[in-house]
Amino acid sequence: MLTDRNQEIRGYVCILRTKLETQDQDNHFMHEAREVSLHQLQLIENENASMTNETIQNLNMIAMLNSRNQNIVIDIHDMQNENKELQNKTGSLQEERNGVKEQYEEIKGKSPFEQFATKANKLLGNIVVDHAPP
């Protein structure tokens, strides 16, 4: 009866030893799985940090391009203003040219004295010169 009891206890010990070994293997696998998960988490964090840096660089590039675009718009407005000023000057020069052309037409074909008299009349208010000086 003692031997039966010993064998029964040995059976329980064997079962417990098997359970402990299984539990130890499970713990080992869980530890490995945890290390793999931590490694994967570290890779994900590194990738996230890299993407964050890229995003910051892209945002800085966008800010720089926006600044350049604003400067270009300002330059365009300045050029448009300069163009308007040049158009105004061109108009004034055209009017001045037309005035000179009219003056030329008035004195064209006249003697030097008549040319002088015509210019003087315009300047002095239509003084009539009937004849050339002696």
Q: pLDDT tens digits, residue range 28-85?
A: 889 999 999 999 999 999 999 999 999 999 999 999 999 999 999 999 999 999 999 9
CB 115, CB 123: distance < 8 Å: no
Distance CA 59, CA 65 (A): 10
Non-local CB neighbours of 36 within 8 Å, separated by 6+ positions: none
Range among 18-27, 74-83, 117-126 with highest mean pLDDT value? 74-83
**Reported pTM:** 0.47
pLDDT at 84: 95
Neighbours of 130 (CB within 10 A): 5
- 12 pLDDT above the threshold of 70: yes
Query: Residue 29 carries which side chain, given as an amino acid letter?
Result: F
pLDDT at 103: 77
Distance CA 111, CA 128 (A): 16
Among 109, 115, 113, smallest CA distance to 134 is for 113
Among 127, 105, 102, 109, smallest CA distance to 117 is for 127
Neighbours of 121 (CB within 10 A): 14
Number of residues assigned to the chain = 134
Q: Which two tokens stand for residue 80?
A: 């448009």
What is the mean predicted confidence (pLDDT) over 98-114? 79
pLDDT at 51: 94
